[in-house]
Amino acid sequence: MTDRFDEFKRRSEEKWRALQSAQIPRILVGTATCGRSAGALEVVEAFRRELDARGLEAHLIEVGCIGLCYAEPIVCITKPSQPGICYANVDPAMAAELVEAYLVGDDPLGKYALGSIGDGSVEGILPLLETPVFKLQVRRTLGKCGVIDPTEIDQYVANGGYGGLVKALAIDPAGIIEQIKASGLRGRGGAGFPTWRKWQFCSDTQADHKYLVCNADEGDPGAFMNRSLLEGDPHAVLEGMAIAGRAIGADQGYIYCRAEYPLALERLHAALKQAEDHDLLGDGILGSEFNFHVKIKEGAGAFVCGEETALIASIEGKRGMPRPRPPFPAVSGLWGKPTIINNVETLACVAQIMQHGADWFAEYGTEKSKGTKTFALVGKINRTGLVEVPLGITLREMVFEIGGGVLNDKPFKAIQTGGPSGGCIPRDLLDTPVDYDSLQAAGTIMGSGGMVVMDEENCMVDIARYFLDFTQKESCGECVPCRLGTKQMLDVLDDITQGKAEPEDLDLLEEVGEGVHAGSLCGLGQTAPNPVLTTIRYFRDEYDAHIQQKSCPAKVCRELITYRILPEKCTGCRLCAKVCPADAIVGEKKQVHVIDQQKCIKCGVCFEKCPPKFGAVECLAGQPTYPTPTTGGTP
């Protein structure tokens, strides 16, 4: 039954080998959304122009993202019989320079290179995988992102793609569940529920129809793991869906993807069509009796629709509101039928497990958290990006090895994991292993993979306020603790950041937080207090400073800081006075200036405007006192 596929695979491999051994150069440009926002499409255009102008032939291929956000746009140039060379921050001018120097000439311009890829070496350029950013990474889920052309199914197939589905068709559904169980795969969406167990519930339920839903409603602020995967390797998700569909006995799949991901949707639609054309989805897949169709449903951007029962309501055309469980979707879900909802990354892992085996998958990870996991590493860090690491790696390794440490070498303060549902982990716990259980013990969650690094300039109260503002707006409003509790906490945090809070407000925050956690109907509400509760737990001194000293130590909360001009440094240049939007700076030219604290709106423009050579404006933690401004004196 797989003859057709074998033939397709053989042709795909031939094509792939031909491309790899082509006698003309290959230029891969990462044009996922992240690359595009950094100007990657202009870079593609520039290469095309430069090649044409010189009459040069090359394969110019748009690929997904290799995850180095800080280095976008990224281009990889491979000359025949040479290793590929990856270049960072390429712009049209650099594209022209590269064509001239490396394609016309033979100078690889090592100064622009990130590293080399493939066999062989180039003098002065380190192999990319040995550079610090990649050294501790294990790229499996993201392995094909940035390497293959996501719009070409044969490139996916040539690299082992759909081999997992072929194996899944050859064994019975129970066998597939057995494999997933042996792999130890846990849901990558956040909660970490064992994937096989969820499938087993659904498989055990009798019904005329069952559904498999891929949850691509990635909504955490600062998280983009799923988007990148869908843009860079959409077939991996489709293959995982078909395998999962067979395991649970579903004949219909849905991908619930947010409409704010236009490129991911475009890639998914194209991949879906290709898979159907090659008999990998649809009726009688690869000649078997297994039917599996996939529909794409665009979400309208409600964070709560990432919650599985709200997601189901949304697919059904209703308002996206969670409903109580039980019954669990595995028993009664979409249209009242047994339904499994798996995250994008979980499904990509499923495809890998079926391709390479459970043991291969479980090579990495800890006893209870197997495999690798993708993370969006962002915030105050030198190398922001999308990384994939073996579970069990420490937070310290992620921040300081892979991420290259805190931006501008400022002291590390905290790392926030799990998005609005997660918490902040302080410096003392940097050696916490990144796995489901250790993160939970630290008061946060793994979540879908957002990691935000913070330095001393981040106010932890303000961070908690930011996340509460988000969850409060995104709450569906249905259950009392979440609707009113998150707003109450936000109001209290507002007061704390404005110096209007009393010491007992911390008790109120904890009390309401615990009520919201224990009382809310769905995961959104149950986890919404985490950013507040963990920051109180680990950064209580900052809360105390805000409440008792009316001072923001990180100098973030406007009401709790003071700008002042140092008389001994001020030259009376008037620069600050001219830009002050509140006319709060008084003083004649060449005389010492003074900020009228009653007028000052703490915008910080004077601080930024004062030339560094003077450095006469300083920002202090704490509320200002209001003496009558006196100016004058010789600078």
Partner 1 sequence: MAKVTLTIDGIGVMAEPETTVLQAALAADVYIPHLCYHPDLRPAGVCRVCMVEVEGRGLVPSCLTPVAEGMTVSTESPQVDKVRRVAVELLLANHPEDCLTCGKNNRCELQRIAAYIGIDRKQLGRFRRSKEPIPIDTSNPFFNRDMNRCILCGICVRTCEELQGTCAINYVNRGYKAVTAPFGNEPIAESNCEACGECVVRCPTGALSCKGFQEPTREVRTVCPYCGVGCGIRLGVRGGKIVSSQGDPQSLANHGRLCVKGRFGHDFVNHPRRLTKPLVRKQGELVETDWDEALGLVAEKFTQHKGKQFAAIASAKCTSEENYVAQKFTRAVMGTNSIDHCARL
Q: Quick check: 508 binds partner 1 (CB under 8 A)?
A: yes
Nearer to partner 1, 152 or 505 (CB): 505
- Output 149 or 220, the one with its CB closest to partner 1: 220
**Selected binder of partner 1 within 55, 317, 324, 627 (CB under 8 A):** 324
| Minimum CB distance to partner 1 smaller for 177 or for 321 | 321
Is residue 533 at the binding interface for partner 1, with CB under 8 A as the rule? no
User: What does DSSP assign to residue 202?
Assistant: H
**Ramachandran angles phi, psi of 455, nearest 5°:** -115, -170
Helix 540-547, helix 486-497: angle, nearest 10: 60
Per DSSP bridges, beta strands 59-63 and 75-78 are unpaired
Structure tokens at 489: 């906490």
What is the nearest approach in angstroms of partner 1 to the Cβ of residue 530? 17
Smallest distance, Å, CB 472 to partner 1?
5
Burial 383-397 (b: 16+ CB within 10 A, else e): bbbbbbbbbbbbbeb
Residue with Cβ nearer partner 1 (25 or 531) = 531
Report the nearest approach of partner 1 to the CB of residue 323 (Å).
8
Question: What is the DSSP secondary structure assignment for residue 24, as one 8-state letter?
Answer: S
Region of 305 on the Ramachandran plot (φ > 0 left; ψ -120 to 50 alpha; else beta) = alpha
Nearest-angstrom CA–CA distance, 142 and 144: 6
Q: How far is CA 350 from the centre of its chain?
A: 20
Instruction: Answer yes or no: are the C-beta atoms of 145 and 62 closer than 8 Å.
Output: no
The residue (of 394 and 497) whose beta carbon lies closer to partner 1 is 497
Structure tokens at 438: 């250790």
Nearest CB to partner 1, comparing residues 69 and 489: 489
**Minimum distance from CB of 215 to partner 1 (Å)?**
20
Cβ 388 vs Cβ 414: under 8 Å: no
User: How crowded is residue 170: how many other Cβ atoms within 10 Å of its Cβ?
Assistant: 11
Shortest distance, position 313 Cβ to partner 1, whole Å? 12
- Confirm if 611 and 576 have CB atoms less than 8 A apart: no
Q: What angle do CA 177, 179, 180 make, to 5 degrees?
A: 65
The answer to whether the CB of 387 falls within 8 A of the CB of 402 is yes
Q: Which stretch binds partner 1 (CB under 8 A): 154-162, 380-388, 402-410, 511-519?
A: 511-519
Binder to partner 1 among 135, 319, 578, 599 (CB under 8 A)? 319
Task: Report CA torsion sign: 508, 514, 515, 520.
Answer: positive
Tell which one of 281, 516, 592, 606 touches partner 1 (CB under 8 A).
516
Q: Which is nearer to partner 1, 359 or 504 (CB)?
A: 504
- For residue 304, the minimal CB distance to partner 1 (Å) is 8
* Positions 468 through 507 that interact with partner 1 (CB under 8 A): 472-481, 483-488, 491-492, 495, 504-505
> Which of 414, 415, 512, 577 lies at the binding interface for partner 1 (CB under 8 A)?
512
DSSP assigned state of 292: B
579 touches 601 (CB < 8 A): no
Q: Which stretch binds partner 1 (CB under 8 A): 112-120, 375-383, 397-405, 514-522?
A: 514-522
Residues 6+ apart with CB under 8 A from 323: 309, 310, 313
Contact indicator for 550, 501 with CB cutoff of 8 Å: no
Least Å distance, CB 516 to partner 1, is 7
Smallest separation (angstroms) from partner 1 to the CB of 420: 13
Quick check: 228 binds partner 1 (CB under 8 A)? Answer: no
7 sits in which H/E element: helix 3-20
| The one among 57, 431, 511, 608 contacting partner 1 by CB under 8 A | 511
CB 614, min distance to partner 1, A: 43
CB of 520 to partner 1, least distance (A): 7
CA atoms within 13 A on the CB side of 349: 32
Smallest separation, CB 463 to partner 1 (Å): 20
Our CB check for partner 1 shows the closer of 447 and 513 to be: 513
CB of 488 to partner 1, least distance (A): 6
* Cα torsion 439, 433, 222, 141: sign: negative
By the rule CB under 8 A, 581 interacts with partner 1: no
Judged by beta carbon, residue 182 or residue 331, the one nearer partner 1 is: 331
Tokens matching residue 577:
């006075």
* Count of CB atoms situated within 10 Å of the CB of 613: 8
Task: State the nearest-atom distance from the C-beta of 539 to partner 1, in Å.
Answer: 22
563 φ/ψ angles, rounded to the nearest 5 degrees: -100, 140
- Token output for 119: 């066999």
- Report yes or no: 561 and 615 within 8 Å, Cβ to Cβ: no
Q: Does 82 bind partner 1 (CB under 8 A)?
A: no
> How many Å apart are CA 298 and CA 50, to the nearest integer?
39
- Residue numbers 429-468 binding partner 1 by CB under 8 A: none
Residue number, 131 or 332, with CB nearest to partner 1:
332
We find the least distance from the C-beta atom of residue 549 to partner 1, in angstroms, to be: 21
> 189: closest CA among 298, 41, 340?
340
- The reply to whether 520 sits near partner 1 by the rule CB under 8 A is yes
Shortest spacing between CB 132 and partner 1, in angstroms: 42
Q: Candidates 1, 259, 518, 601: give the one binding partner 1 (CB under 8 A).
A: 518
Least distance in Å: CB of 315 to partner 1? 18
Closer Cβ to partner 1, 82 or 475, answer by number:
475
As a whole number of Å, the CA-based R_g of the chain is: 28
Count of residues in contact with partner 1, rule CB under 8 A: 36
Spell out, one character per residue from 326 to 355, where the chain touches partner 1: x when CB under 8 A holds, - when not.
------------------------------
260 touching partner 1, by CB under 8 A:
no
**Binding of partner 1 at residue 321 (CB under 8 A)?**
yes
Q: Which stretch binds partner 1 (CB under 8 A): 138-146, 292-300, 432-440, 509-517?
A: 509-517
Tokens 């390497």 belong to 147
Restricting to residues 280-309, name those near partner 1 by CB under 8 A.
302, 304
Pairing of the two strands 412-417 and 385-390: unpaired
Q: Which residue do the tokens 């690798």 mark?
A: 372
- Helix H segments across 249-318? 262-277, 308-315
The reply to whether 521 sits near partner 1 by the rule CB under 8 A is yes
Which residues sit at the interface with partner 1, rule CB under 8 A? 302, 304, 319, 321, 324, 472-481, 483-488, 491-492, 495, 504-505, 508, 511-512, 514-516, 518-521
